[in-house]
Structure 1
Amino acid sequence: MIKSYFKTAWRSILKHKTFSGINVLGLAIGISASLVIFMIVSYEFGFDRFQKDRDRIYRVVLGATFGGGTQGFSAGVPAPLGSAIAEEMTGVEQTVPVFQFQGDASADVMIGKDKDEKLQVFKKQKNVVFTNSDYMGLLGYQWIAGNAKEALKDPYAVVLTESRGRLYFPGIPAHLLVGRQLQYNEITATVTGIVKDLDQSTDFKAKEFISLPTVAVTGLRDDFMMNVWDDWMAYSQLYIKLSKGYTKEQAAAAVNALFKRHYDPVKKPGSTITLMLQPLADIHFNSQFQSFDSRLASKTTLYGLLAVAGFLLMIGCINFINLSTAQSSQRAREIGIRKTIGSSRMQLVMQVLSEIFLVTLMATLLSVLLTPWILKLFATYTPEGLTTDFLYHWPVMLFLLALTLFISLASGIYPALILCSYKPVLVLKNSVAVAAQSRHVWIRKMLTVGQFVIAQFFVIATLMVGKQIRYSTHVDMGFNKDAILTFNIPRDSLNAHRAVLIHRIKEVPGVQSVSSGFFSPADAGAAFVNVSYNNGKETVHPQAQIRWGDTAYLKIYDLKLAAGRNVSANDSVNEFLVNETFTREMGFQRPEQALGTYLRWNDKESVPVVGVIRDFHDMSLKSRISPMVFKNGTGSTFHVRLEPANVGMPWAATVSKIRGVYRQLYPEEPFKYSFVDDMVAGFYKNERATEGLLKWATALTIAISCLGLLGLVIYTTNSRTKEIGVRKVLGAPVKQIVTLLSKEFIVLVALAFLIAAPIAWWAAYKWLQNYAYKTTMSWWVFALSGLLMLILAAVTLSIRTVRAARANPVKALRSE
């Protein structure tokens, strides 16, 4: 019986090749896009799911409330907190402090194979941490060599992953690496163990583990502030695993009570510090506590992707339903004869569903073939670790099977019930066709409108996201970001080479000016400073960011002064510039009122305000302009303004010469630079990814919708062949016939726009609330969207209507 179902279904597919092809293609597009989205979502939600008892693992994070009610959050915590929890708290099964090298979180690793051989140097190695043995147990590392309990117990010990062992000592078996020595910057460590690399998706990226006791016996003790409770840095993180039965709330209360016993709030006046426990499952998604050099995923974006997948599948199913119901009258006689000879209702339903299942299966197989190509197409938006190998994981295969069955039922149950509801007597009298047309035409119209509502929504959303990105990247930031490159020099040689480097770079053709300092005016990182101002009534503690640089810094970025003067070139005399927002925090109505006042800096020194900088955007337009303090001084970051590209020598040649100057002073250091305008554009990386995904979703939605529209117009023109022939014989021009055939569909597309426009307006308005500075909701976005869809619909309709209108009426009437 089942074989008969599928044999008959295959014959029906071959008989209606055009409609079957439209159905297969529409479903394949929706399924392949949904498959890629499922792979992305499954991959992102699969992070850190392999740890044993992961529901009891937390990261200790910090929230701070400053004067004025502003808040800040940090994944970094005071360095001594880990040892204090281990010694003073109960209910904690494992305590795992994790420290990274400061600066760029990397270390130069040197290896000597024997005494006579020159050291081999690996520059800027990432993923090197200081931690204890509990780290290995927390993540369940498999040991290849070494003792799990003793390997990180003593100072100057290091455990390597298998991949790092092969990198440093190629061709040497892992068990022979124990006892080898590695030098990390100024620290020499002995290899005490080798572990297998983690083969699961995880945010724990460390590849080399130096024993935590090493910090206590080296100069890193002060660098890591191991005895400082009133300060913290992003390079100091802490993980704990709670004992069974000990709740998160109990642990959080105990951690804060412990912290208060050691923390002196007098050293941080005007601020309140609260420690929190962040679940392991939240680390990959929570941007509030983003750690150094980590990649986060957005749950909102992932849920949005799932919604897109749902919409694409819905549109594909709508196509199927529309075309199936449109063809129902043509299959009515077949159903009537089957009923007459004894076929049951269930048999007829199974026959129709088997046909739909076969079409869906063909679409699914086609989508699997398309997926590797789509993954390459979506490479900009897909996670780095997601490859085509993920396609063959059992959850993906299970998803495909479930999706095939679901689409078959969702698309087929309604057409099957319609066909099986026909009465044999009426069918054989040929009186069903007209009734079927009138009974189900309103459903097809409603489904077609639904298709184009979704398509219109995506078009408007894409245009609005693109408009906001263009606004963000072209708005006046308050400083000049063009033709400026930045690079860093090693900190330990700053004083020795800074002046020489500035002098030599100034002599490079194509360079306008050079400055040494800190971050550029706008930066992805936050650098807060502890400053306060006493206005006579109270002490104000703004949550201010800091920048510093020499006297050329303001000229480099074309920063304007609202009052006062530039800072002094004398580094021994501390002076501050503040921005206009800072003066308002101080309580002044006019910028010049702040001149001559003194700010308390780090609760140690009073520093005069000698100038006020006009406000500029210090971060992306999602954030409001922060209070800002600018201090005179030098730093490890160099800022170089180039001549305009159409004036001086080509930028590539200028950068090449700067690289040559750099390598003369630092022959072993890589020259890594970036342009400030690229960094500012990088603020909106997620928005650009969203825009890209919306563009693809829009294109796919329009493609599927137009395929469905084409199928319906093909059916309509086929069913009205005689009418078209009669009208042509009576003298109707081609234009009139095309208008007659297209008018109904154009009205449906216009109705879809009227429904989609207010929904898209509301969604765009809500999305723009994420930005402190945003573009306007322009009327032309909606007008352009509606016009675009009308044009696409008209073009799609013309493919068939013009051909039908120009056909020879004699042939049409003869065939009837």
Structure 2
Amino acid sequence: MIKNYFKIAFRNFWRHKLFTLINVIGLSIGISAALVICLIVHYDLTFDKFHKDGDRIYRVVTNFSFQGSPGNNAGVCGPLPWATKNGVTGLQQIAPIFRLFQPNVVIPNGSKESARFKLQDNVIVADGDYFKLFEYKWLAGSASSALAAPYKVVLTSEQAEKYFPGASYDQMLGRTVVYDTLKTTVSGIVQTIKQNTDLIFHDFVSFPTAFSNPSIKEQLRLNNWGGTSPEYQLFVKLAPQTTAAGVERQLNDIMKKNYKSRPGVTETFALQPLADIHFNNLYGTFNGRVADKTTLLELSGIALFLILLGCINFINLTTAQSAQRAKEIGIRKTMGSTRRQLILQFLSETFLVTLAAVIISAAMAPVILKLFAGFVPAGVNANLFSQPGILLFLALLTVVVSLLSGFYPALMLSGHKPVSVLKNQAQNNSNKTRSAMLRKSLTVTQFAIAQFFIMATILVSKQVYYATHKDLGFKKDAILIVNSPWKNRQERLNQVLLNKFRAIPQIELISMGRDAPAAGDLFSTEATYNDGKKEIKLENFGVRFGDENYIKVYHIKLLAGRNLRPGDTSKAVLINNTLAKQLGFKSPQDAVGKVISKYNGNAGDMLIAGVVADFNAESIHAAIAPVAIMTSTNFYFNGTFHIALKPQTTTGDDWKTAIAAMEKAWKQIYPEDDFEYSFFDENIARLYTDEQHTSALLSWATGLSILISCLGLLGLAIYTTTQRTKEIGVRKVLGATVTQIATLLSAELVWLLALSFVTISPVAWYAMNRWMQSFADRTPISWWIFALSGGGMLLTALLTSGFQTIKAALANPVKSLRSE
């Protein structure tokens, strides 16, 4: 019986090749999108799910409040882990870790030249409790003793093979690894974690080393309850039946006993579930990438809509063809077929179409992943056989799509009465009306989804363009950012390099400082100002560090007062107009010469030398912040070169020549470090990477939704014109022109498009308005976005159906009206 179902299905596919092809392509597009999105979602949702008792593992994080302004830090203060071990009940394991900042690694090799590895990330200080909390497979050494003594290190297998190529794991034990000046001995090798994880550490230095090494011990600040660093973190595992809230209360009680915060400032500890680390941007991960659950939901929604569009096509075309299969159904029923058998027959046809679409989608997945390489996380792969969860998803998707697409057509087709269909009365007026209403409703839904994507794409693209082209209050073009190396940075060497850069003829001006006017973060501080009547507290105003050339390089306008001078250091500052208003000055000139006191808690005063125009110190997601610009002699705040290049000449090679000359000068001063640079305008564009990804994603979703809708529309146009061939012939005989007939056939389409436009426009406006709320500075939701969407969709639909409509209108009425 089943063999017969499939044999009949293939015959029907061959008889209606065009409609079958349209259905397969429409479903393939939707399923391909769903498959790729499922790969992304599955990848992110499987992070750190493999740890034993992972639901009881937490990271202790710190939350701050400065005069009501919240702040978050993934780290803890120095004494907390040790106080926790002694003073908190209900904990099964306590594992502090401390990340070393990009040490240079040297592997001594006896008489041979030592192997060197620059700026290694993910090197941490840990103790044996870390390996009790997170289970690793030990390849060499002992978990109980490997990190018990000072100056010991455990390596992952991948890192160990990089440091000691060709050696066995047992031979690696006892070898020396030097981190900057810290000399350690390999005491253990663990298997590199193969599953998806944010715990990407590969070098584990023993914690007793930190107590013996003055440099690391100073960084840990073991006696400072008021210092919190994201590099110093604490993981805990709760005992069974212990609640996170109870542990949080104990942690905060310990904090209250040992530290009294400043007025207006609160500091509390919280437990962050291990499963939340991958998705929580407040605290971050160890590899810098944080997945966004909202984005994953949006991706899933797009996949669902695209699959829905393919299913709508299938239902529309299948129900439209019902009259052509009516006699087949009548004969089958006369020969004894039951309605259940007919439903299974039609569902088997739907299943085969869906299965073909799934196979095509699986074959296309690697190509799509490469196409979206800039958007898809690096760890996502299309090897379906190594991901049983994805294979299960495809199997379920095949069944669900088959039922969603095929159940109603099967129910409708199997319901024909044999007496009526064999008398050429396949459908009564009621059935015809019901079938037509369904097709019209589904078509309106298709057009509404496509127009929603069009509107959203136009608005997001408009906002991204606005963000990257808006006047931010400073110059963006022809400026290079070069950071002197953190490890080897010296003021004397930077000055020599600065002089060499200045001698390059293609360079117009150079400023030394820290961050550019707009960067990913904004260094903040606090101060007070006394206007003679009351004291005004400045909480968390931003600071940009630069010399006297800073505002010249970036063309930041000076509104009043003077520029910074070489001898000002931190005794004089420039403030922006927003900060001047916050201090209560009615005009920029009023602020010049006034003094801000107790800067950063110190007793020193800062003279307001001048006031500059407002500029965006962060992305336009944030409102313009109160900002001060000052010079600094601290190498941390004075290690970045801001280089304004001269305009290019007709040859267009001036900037390349300048960069090559800078690299040559760099190698003379810092021969051990790589020369790296970035263009400032590209850095600005990177502030909106998420929005650019959203725009690209919506563009593809829009294109695919339009393509699927047009495929369905083409199929319906072919069916409609075929069904109305005689009507068209009669109208032509009675004198109707080609234009009149084409207009008649297109009128219904226009009304359906208009209905979908009216239905979806309010929904699209609401959704776009919600999305725009994340921007403090945003472009308006203009009326032309909706007009362009509706007009574009109408034009696309008319062009899609127009060829078939005009072809029908031009047909010879003699052929369409003859009986045989």
- Relative to the length of structure 2, the TM-score reads 0.95
C-alpha separation between the residues in 1 aligned to 2:819 and 2:365? 44
Matched, 1:163 2:194: no
**Aligned to 1:238, what secondary structure does the other structure show?**
strand
Of 720, 728, 733, 2:732 maps to 728
Relative to structure 2, which stretch is displaced further, 591-600 or 313-322?
A: 591-600
Partner of 1:271: 265
Partner of 1:74: 73
Partner of 1:99: 98
C-alpha separation between the residues in 1 aligned to 2:528 and 2:122? 37
Matched, 1:414 2:408: yes
Partner of 2:289: 295
Deviations 1:390-413 (A, max 9, x none): 564111111111111111111111
Q: Is the 8 A contact 1:357 1:405 kept in 2?
A: yes
C-alpha separation between the residues in 2 aligned to 1:361 and 1:490? 56
Partner of 2:626: 627
Partner of 1:3: 3
Deviations 1:342-384 (A, max 9, x none): 2212111111111111111111111111211111112121111
Matched, 1:349 2:346: no
Cα-Cα RMSD: 1.9
Q: Is the 8 A contact 1:34 1:310 kept in 2?
A: yes
Partner of 1:684: 688
Partner of 1:640: 643
Q: CA deviation at 1:212?
A: 2.1
Of 530, 545, 549, 1:548 maps to 545
Partner of 1:604: 602
Letter of the 1:564 partner, please give it: G
Letter of the 2:498 partner, please give it: I
C-alpha separation between the residues in 1 aligned to 2:682 and 2:411? 58
Partner of 1:516: 512
**Aligned to 1:776, what secondary structure does the other structure show?**
coil
C-alpha separation between the residues in 1 aligned to 2:644 and 2:434? 72
Partner of 1:705: 709
Q: Is the 8 A contact 1:598 1:607 kept in 2?
A: yes
Partner of 2:814: 810
1:279-678 equivalences under 5 Å are: 279-291=273-285, 293-390=287-384, 392-433=386-427, 435=429, 436-491=431-486, 492-534=488-530, 537-538=534-535, 540-570=537-567, 574-594=571-591, 595-610=593-608, 611-634=610-633, 635-646=638-649, 650-678=654-682
Deviations 1:199-226 (A, max 9, x none): 0111111111112222222212223433
Partner of 1:738: 742
Partner of 1:150: 145
Q: CA deviation at 1:661?
A: 0.6
Deviations 1:120-156 (A, max 9, x none): 2211111111222222232211111111121122221
C-alpha separation between the residues in 2 aligned to 1:354 and 1:186? 71
Q: CA deviation at 1:76?
A: 2.5
Q: Is the 8 A contact 1:106 1:126 kept in 2?
A: yes
Partner of 1:199: 194
**Aligned to 1:605, what secondary structure does the other structure show?**
coil
**Aligned to 1:638, what secondary structure does the other structure show?**
strand
Identical residues among aligned pairs (%)? 45
Q: CA deviation at 1:588?
A: 3.6
Q: 1:476 to 1:31 in 2, by over 3 A?
A: same
Letter of the 1:575 partner, please give it: A
Q: Is the 8 A contact 2:480 2:642 kept in 1?
A: yes
C-alpha separation between the residues in 1 aligned to 2:510 and 2:763? 51
Relative to structure 2, which stretch is displaced further, 679-688 or 56-65?
A: 56-65
Q: Is the 8 A contact 2:741 2:809 kept in 1?
A: yes
Letter of the 2:644 partner, please give it: R
Partner of 1:237: 233
Deviations 1:641-675 (A, max 9, x none): 11123488521221111111111001110111111
Q: Is the 8 A contact 1:152 1:212 kept in 2?
A: yes
Q: Is the 8 A contact 1:542 1:585 kept in 2?
A: no
Relative to structure 2, which stretch is displaced further, 544-553 or 729-738?
A: 729-738
Q: 1:314 to 1:815 in 2, by over 3 A?
A: farther
Q: Is the 8 A contact 1:162 1:197 kept in 2?
A: yes
Of 198, 217, 223, 2:219 maps to 223
Partner of 1:84: 83
Q: Is the 8 A contact 1:203 1:294 kept in 2?
A: no
Partner of 1:256: 252
Q: CA deviation at 1:573?
A: 5.9
Partner of 1:19: 19
Q: Is the 8 A contact 2:482 2:640 kept in 1?
A: yes
Q: Is the 8 A contact 1:321 1:411 kept in 2?
A: yes
Q: 1:520 to 1:543 in 2, by over 3 A?
A: same
**Aligned to 1:118, what secondary structure does the other structure show?**
strand
Q: CA deviation at 1:524?
A: 0.8
Q: Is the 8 A contact 1:509 1:649 kept in 2?
A: no
Q: 1:716 to 1:400 in 2, by over 3 A?
A: same
Letter of the 2:513 partner, please give it: G
**Aligned to 2:776, what secondary structure does the other structure show?**
coil
Letter of the 1:455 partner, please give it: A
The answer for unaligned runs of 5 or more in structure 1 is none
Q: Is the 8 A contact 1:642 1:651 kept in 2?
A: yes
Of 769, 774, 777, 1:765 maps to 769
C-alpha separation between the residues in 1 aligned to 2:384 and 2:271? 32
**Aligned to 2:678, what secondary structure does the other structure show?**
strand
Q: Is the 8 A contact 1:234 1:292 kept in 2?
A: no
Q: Is the 8 A contact 2:39 2:381 kept in 1?
A: no
**Aligned to 1:110, what secondary structure does the other structure show?**
strand
C-alpha separation between the residues in 2 aligned to 1:238 and 1:577? 40
**Aligned to 1:197, what secondary structure does the other structure show?**
coil
Q: Is the 8 A contact 2:55 2:274 kept in 1?
A: yes
Letter of the 1:249 partner, please give it: A
Matched, 1:108 2:112: no
C-alpha separation between the residues in 2 aligned to 1:199 and 1:148? 19
**Aligned to 1:287, what secondary structure does the other structure show?**
coil
Q: Is the 8 A contact 2:312 2:443 kept in 1?
A: yes
Letter of the 1:704 partner, please give it: I
Q: 1:458 to 1:298 in 2, by over 3 A?
A: same
Q: Is the 8 A contact 1:455 1:702 kept in 2?
A: yes
**Aligned to 1:680, what secondary structure does the other structure show?**
helix
Partner of 1:36: 36
Q: CA deviation at 1:387?
A: 1.3
**Aligned to 2:505, what secondary structure does the other structure show?**
coil
Of 115, 123, 131, 1:136 maps to 131
C-alpha separation between the residues in 2 aligned to 1:815 and 1:164? 82
Q: CA deviation at 1:498?
A: 1.7
Q: Is the 8 A contact 2:309 2:708 kept in 1?
A: yes
Q: CA deviation at 1:117?
A: 2.4
Q: Is the 8 A contact 2:522 2:617 kept in 1?
A: no
Q: CA deviation at 1:480?
A: 1.4
Relative to structure 2, which stretch is displaced further, 12-21 or 547-556?
A: 547-556
Q: CA deviation at 1:497?
A: 0.8
C-alpha separation between the residues in 2 aligned to 1:53 and 1:644? 61
Letter of the 2:6 partner, please give it: F
**Aligned to 1:543, what secondary structure does the other structure show?**
strand
C-alpha separation between the residues in 1 aligned to 2:15 and 2:302? 33
Relative to structure 2, which stretch is displaced further, 122-131 or 454-463?
A: 122-131
